[in-house]
Structure 1
Amino acid sequence: MRVAAVALALLLPGVAFAQQQRSQAAPRPDDLAQQVERNIRSCVGNAQDMALVARCMDSQRTVVGPRLETAVERLLGTQTNPERRERLAAVQAAWVTYRDMRCDFAGSNPDRGTESAADRAACLLQFDLSRTMEIEQLLAPPSPPAAQQRQQQRR
């Protein structure tokens, strides 16, 4: 139980941030952050094994990863100017480099011992989840102004 709590404590701040970012957009029935959280709780269960926690988080990255790649490709596809598309691709490449370096650092703390692998896995999942949700929010159609929404609700 302690291990599951640690895993969720590592992941939930990022999930909460990602959900806060998404709260500005219309809620979706298949909210990715909630899905990932449920899957991790189910995978970890009452286990006390930090290696299992890391594997559970890594397995969720295999779910989030293709969705992130699709979102990035869709966002690149919105760039009609080749120079802007190139610059956006460079931004994404820099983000990947930062994520990897940051999470390698998070997972290299000798004081954390065997828990450092879970720290790295949680970091990678948190970054990928947040970036996916950020890009999907950019791709979402803009919501109508509040006054227009109220008029539509009255009809």
Structure 2
Amino acid sequence: MRAGLIALALMLPGAAMAQQRTQQQQAPRQDTLADQVERNIRTCIGSSQDMALIARCMDSQRAVVAPRLETAVERLLATQADPARRDGLMAVQAAWANYRNLRCDFAGSNPERGAEAAADRAACLLQFDLARTLEIEAFLQPPPPTPPQPQRQQQRR
């Protein structure tokens, strides 16, 4: 069960991870945010089966991710020169946060999970915040340069 919770917490949407892998291939190997979070959670949990500890470890990593998410959102908002677009983006972010909270509150309220429900909620929140951070940071990355296209010779008629 513990392994399942850890796996749940560390699963990231494929697109965000693919983008991060592409960036890694272009630069020297660095620990990604997901790698750092995973390593820190494994260190924090160790071999414990205590669900309260597992939830606290995930909450502590969420506290590490939160400032980076806030910075990414602020950077994304700064790209919007049109006030209406900026307001729209703020509404999207607020709706995302509301969905995250409702979804994770639901995940953490399953009475059949007992003491594990709190860890389920913490894992859900961490997963959402981590994925959103990676999504926004990937969006903010400049596109890779397009390779020059070979010129075609014009055909004569």
The DSSP-based 3-state class of the residue aligned with 2:144 is coil
Indicate yes or no: 2:48 matched with 1:47: yes
Q: Do the aligned partners of 2:66 and 2:129 also contact (CA within 8 Å) in 1?
A: yes
Measured in 2, the distance between the counterparts of 1:119 and 1:20 equals 25
Q: Do the aligned partners of 2:100 and 2:125 also contact (CA within 8 Å) in 1?
A: yes
> Over alpha carbons, which structure has the higher Rg?
2
1:144 maps to amino acid: P
Measured in 1, the distance between the counterparts of 2:10 and 2:86 equals 33
Off by >2 Å, runs of 4+ in structure 1: 12-18, 20-23
Question: What does 1:9-20 correspond to in 2, within 5 Å?
Answer: 9-14=7-12, 18-20=16-18
**Please, what TM-score do these two structures have when normalized by structure 1?**
0.86
Q: 1:14: Cα distance to partner?
A: 2.5
Indicate yes or no: 2:96 matched with 1:83: no
2:94 maps to amino acid: A
Question: What does 1:31-42 correspond to in 2, within 5 Å?
Answer: 31-42=32-43
Measured in 2, the distance between the counterparts of 1:17 and 1:101 equals 23
Name the stretch that deviates more: 93-102 or 7-16. 7-16
Segments of structure 2 that go 5 or more residues without pairing to the other structure are: 149-157
Q: 1:90: Cα distance to partner?
A: 0.3
Partner of 2:141: 140
The DSSP-based 3-state class of the residue aligned with 2:126 is helix
What is the percentage of aligned positions where both structures have the same residue? 64
The DSSP-based 3-state class of the residue aligned with 1:61 is helix
Question: Number of aligned pairs?
Answer: 144
Indicate yes or no: 2:65 matched with 1:64: yes
Higher share in helix: 1
Indicate yes or no: 2:27 matched with 1:26: no
**Please, what TM-score do these two structures have when normalized by structure 2?**
0.85
